[in-house]
């Protein structure tokens, strides 16, 4: 006997297994369409309004991203005193996003140049951009570049570069474990997990001293299996603002090389730590100088303010030119099915600046001004807390470097500041100093003071 078939209409279900039943069901459908003209043969099973009919009905609502979600909440707040210190994005003294002058200039040149077109870029991106990006991070006189041992591919900003590097390693490297510092940028574990690597952690930050847990750092790398990948923040560690000294970097390098660990640098803030592009690249250059292999993901989101252009690069330094060119051929196989090839506009802006001596100098001046404004915000916030006699030692605000201060405020204090003072920040107590201005420092200091004294 044939299994019964269930016919479902918007309001009637009929089970039939014989020609007689089928006739009955035809009648039933006729009846439905007479009573409800919308329930015609065509839309019987696809009601546009009933959510329960959706093939995605089982989906739970996902939480907002811990960093970008802060901006979503901020945008919904009607308060005139609201302050967004969540995302690491530079703001002027007036609290406005900044488009650098050099960027405006080059964009104008690009628009005026009618010989330009919008053809696809190669899979690996704009050749000039790749060469100049490698020079920027490794140094113009880098032997690795001169010996053609570096392959650089243009990717979708820092995140895309990390993801492409992660997928390449998951496919072709003999070790599939990557060690991340605790804490680290919240997206790191997700990027590398989805790339196919398994994520482990190494100690990095000591809450008690609000400084580097150097001993823990060395111990954890020392006990990592040989060959493991190690993610290192090139400078301006996010979220802690705590970097090793150059002497400490040298010890880290020796340990990494002696255990044949593979360094993967994330360079999202070159120029933002010290105000100097070269000084901030020193840790990476230390590792390149020993002739060993490594990966670097570069982002131009912060140092050129090209956040939404999604422009960055992945470089892999290899032992020989021959290996580097085979690595590049395999990177193309990672990129092509992911997004085919990268966008042209942002990379053209960067290449235009990096290849022109005058524009490059102008950029370094603008970059230094951004870094200096952040440093001055640190001092102003520190002074404001001191003048309020806010309990605690706040010297870490002026000691930490880069875009962020890792305040030490806990999640409960953060939500108090958001609810009562309309100050938005990540729940780990990180504040983006770049979002602060002389006008808003007193408001933030009042909020921190209230949050801290209230908990006493
Ligand atoms: N690495 C680090 C360490 C980092 O802080 C960011 C961004 C990125 C990579 C990626 O940036 P991209 O825009 O893909 O070039 N951090 C800020 C923004 C974000 O979370 O997306 C932040 O921490 O606020």
Q: What is the pLDDT of residues 169-219, one digit of tens each?
A: 999 999 999 999 999 999 999 999 999 999 999 999 999 999 999 999 999
- Report helix, strand or coil for 314: strand
| Interatomic CA distance for residues 339 and 328, integer angstroms | 16
| Interatomic CA distance for residues 343 and 131, integer angstroms | 17
What's the pLDDT at 29? Answer: 52
159 lines ligand 1 (CB under 6 A): yes
Rounded to the nearest whole angstrom, what is the distance from the C-alpha of residue 105 to the centroid of ligand 1?
Answer: 26
Residue 45 has pLDDT above 70, yes or no: no
- Report helix, strand or coil for 136: helix
67 lines ligand 1 (CB under 6 A): yes
- CATH 3.90.1150.10 residue ranges of the chain are 68-98+372-453
| Interatomic CA distance for residues 388 and 390, integer angstroms | 5
- CATH 3.40.640.10 residue ranges of the chain are 120-355
- For the domain made up of 68-98+372-453, the CATH class stated in words is alpha beta
Which of these CATH numbers, 3.40.605.10, 3.40.640.10, 1.10.3210.10, 2.120.10.10, describes 120-355? 3.40.640.10
List CB contacts of 359: < 8 A, sequence separation 6 or more. Answer: 102, 105, 106, 352, 353
| Interatomic CA distance for residues 316 and 333, integer angstroms | 15
380 lines ligand 1 (CB under 6 A): no
| Interatomic CA distance for residues 334 and 361, integer angstroms | 35
Say whether 105 is catalytic: no
266 lines ligand 1 (CB under 6 A): yes
**68 phi and psi, to 5 degrees?**
-70, -25
Q: What is the pLDDT of residues 274-321, one digit of tens each?
A: 999 999 999 999 999 999 999 999 999 999 999 999 999 999 999 999
Cα dihedral 105, 111, 117, 121 sign: positive
> What is the rounded average pLDDT of the residues 59-87?
92
The residue annotated as part of the active site, out of 213, 266, 428, 446, is 266
Residue 6 has pLDDT above 50, yes or no: no
- pLDDT category of residue 21 using cuts at 50, 70 and 90: low
Neighbours of 435 (CB within 10 A): 25
Helices (H) and strands (E) in the chain, counts: 17, 15
Among left, alpha and beta (phi > 0; psi -120 to 50; other), residue 212 is beta
Rounded to the nearest whole angstrom, what is the distance from the C-alpha of residue 67 to the centroid of ligand 1?
Answer: 9
Enter the pTM of the model: 0.88
Say whether 278 is catalytic: no
Ligand 1 atom, smallest distance to 67 CA? 20
What's the pLDDT at 31? Answer: 45
Say whether 249 is catalytic: no
What's the pLDDT at 66? Answer: 87
Neighbours of 359 (CB within 10 A): 17
| Strands 198-203 vs 423-424: parallel, antiparallel or unpaired | unpaired
């Amino acid at each position: 006997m044939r299994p019964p078939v269930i016919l479902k209409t918007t309001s009637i279900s009929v089970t039939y297994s014989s020609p007689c039943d089928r006739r009955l069901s035809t009648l039933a459908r006729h009846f439905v369409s007479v009573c409800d003209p919308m329930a015609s043969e065509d839309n019987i099973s696809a009601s546009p309004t009933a959510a329960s009919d959706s093939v995605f009905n089982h989906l739970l609502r996902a939480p907002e991203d811990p960093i970008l979600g802060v901006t979503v909440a901020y945008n919904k707040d009607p308060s005139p005193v609201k302050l967004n210190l969540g995302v690491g994005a530079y703001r002027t003294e007036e609290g406005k996003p900044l488009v650098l002058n050099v960027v405006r200039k080059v964009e104008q040149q690009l628009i005026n140049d009618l010989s330009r077109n919008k053809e696809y870029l190669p899979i690996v991106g704009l050749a000039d951009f790749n060469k100049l990006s490698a020079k920027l991070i490794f140094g113009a006189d880098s032997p690795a570049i001169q010996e053609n041992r570096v392959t650089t591919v243009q990717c979708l900003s820092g995140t895309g570069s990390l993801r492409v590097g992660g997928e390449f390693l998951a496919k072709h490297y003999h070790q599939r474990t990557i060690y991340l510092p605790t804490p680290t940028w919240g997206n790191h574990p997700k990027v590398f997990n989805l790339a196919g690597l398994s994520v482990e952690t190494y100690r990095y930050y000591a809450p008690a001293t609000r400084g580097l847990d150097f001993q823990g750092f060395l111990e954890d790398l020392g006990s990592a299996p040989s060959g493991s990948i190690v993610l290192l923040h090139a400078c301006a560690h996010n979220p802690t603002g705590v970097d090793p000294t150059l002497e400490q970097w040298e010890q880290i390098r020796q340990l990494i090389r002696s255990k044949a660990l593979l360094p993967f640098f994330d360079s999202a803030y070159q120029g933002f730590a010290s105000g100097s592009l070269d000084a901030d690249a020193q840790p990476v250059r230390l590792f390149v100088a020993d002739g060993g292999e490594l990966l670097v993901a570069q982002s131009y989101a912060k140092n050129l303010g090209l956040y939404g252009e999604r422009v960055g690069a992945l470089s892999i330094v290899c032992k020989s030119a021959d290996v580097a060119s085979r690595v590049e051929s395999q990177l193309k196989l990672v990129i092509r099915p992911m997004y085919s090839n990268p966008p042209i506009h942002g990379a053209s802006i960067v290449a235009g600046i990096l290849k022109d001596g005058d524009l490059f100098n102008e950029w370094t001046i603008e970059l230094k001004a951004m870094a200096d404004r952040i440093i001055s915000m640190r001092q102003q916030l520190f002074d404001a807390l001191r003048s309020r006699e806010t309990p605690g030692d706040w010297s870490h605000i002026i000691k930490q470097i880069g875009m962020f201060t890792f305040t030490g405020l806990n999640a409960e204090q953060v939500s108090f500041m958001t609810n009562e003072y309309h100050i938005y920040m990540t729940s780990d107590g990180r504040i983006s100093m770049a979002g602060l201005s002389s006008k808003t420092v007193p408001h933030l200091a009042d909020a921190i003071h209230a949050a801290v004294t209230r908990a006493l």
